[in-house]
Chain A
Amino acid sequence: ETGVTQSPTHLIKTRGQQVTLRCSSQSGHNTVSWYQQALGQGPQFIFQYYREEENGRGNFPPRFSGLQFPNYSSELNVNALELDDSALYLCASSYDRGTQYFGPGTRLTVL
């Protein structure tokens, strides 16, 4: 167990809806990174938050947005859901942008 938690575990939404996923980082960690993992693929970097600021972003459209709170927990928001957004969403926490430890993930299904 890494001490990183994510909620919810599973989620079903319909195309066009909005979704918010949540992540609590491991105690002592100040960095949260979000990844999308489609079936049979490796995780793809969405963005990273370090000390409440977005620190880097992968090749994802602006409808993917995030937030980090003073306690270093984080949210991932996705607007205007598309069918291709169906995936496992992974949160990873680290200290000072170092080695990343993953939470259990949220499985999102878009119908």
Chain B
Amino acid sequence: QKEVEQNSGPLSVPEGAIASLNCTYSDRGSQSFFWYRQYSGKSPELIMSIYSNGDKEDGRFTAQLNKASQYVSLLIRDSQPSDSATYLCAVSEGGGADGLTFGKGTHLIIQP
């Protein structure tokens, strides 16, 4: 059974600091990796996608992928109170037929 593991938190980070969110996955066949942000009572919003080993940067967000270690991470620089949310890691084999497999999410709190 495919599994995606995340620390549920809460992870508390001071405003302006770097928030580091981690995720491990069990299926070595996974090809596509995503981070979604979900505010309380809302639906998931795509933050980043990453498909190859290494780092991918988009504004204050950096996704890191290490397929050998089956590990994905998301760094948020200059954290803002508006970044407080649950961050969901999702993986798929690609092609979409298996859908996305999600972790339970990490609850991030940015302290002003």
Contact partner of B43 (CB less than 8 A), chosen from A46, A97, A104, is: A104
Residues A102 and B44 in contact, CB atoms below 8 Å apart = yes
B97 near A33 with CB under 8 A, answer no
Determine if A14 is an interface residue (Cβ-Cβ < 8 Å).
no
Number of B interface residues at 8 Å Cβ cutoff, please give it. 22
- Whether the Cβ atoms of A43 and B100 lie closer than 8 Å is yes
| Contact between B105 and A56, CB atoms less than 8 A apart | no
A103 within 8 A of B: yes
Are A42 and B102 within 8 A (Cβ)? yes
Which residues on the A side are within 8 Å of B44 (C-beta)? 43, 90, 102
A56→B46 contact, CB < 8 A: no
Contacting pair B43 A102 (CB below 8 A): yes
B97-A56 in contact (CB<8A): yes
B45–A97 contact, CB under 8 A? no
Q: Which residues of A contact B (CB under 8 A)?
A: 2, 31, 33, 35, 40-48, 50, 55-56, 58, 88, 90, 92, 94, 97-105
Given contacts A40-B104, A56-B99, 17 further A-B contacts (CB under 8 A): A35-B99, A41-B104, A42-B90, A42-B102, A42-B103, A42-B105, A44-B102, A45-B101, A48-B96, A55-B96, A58-B99, A97-B96, A99-B46, A100-B34, A100-B100, A102-B45, A103-B43
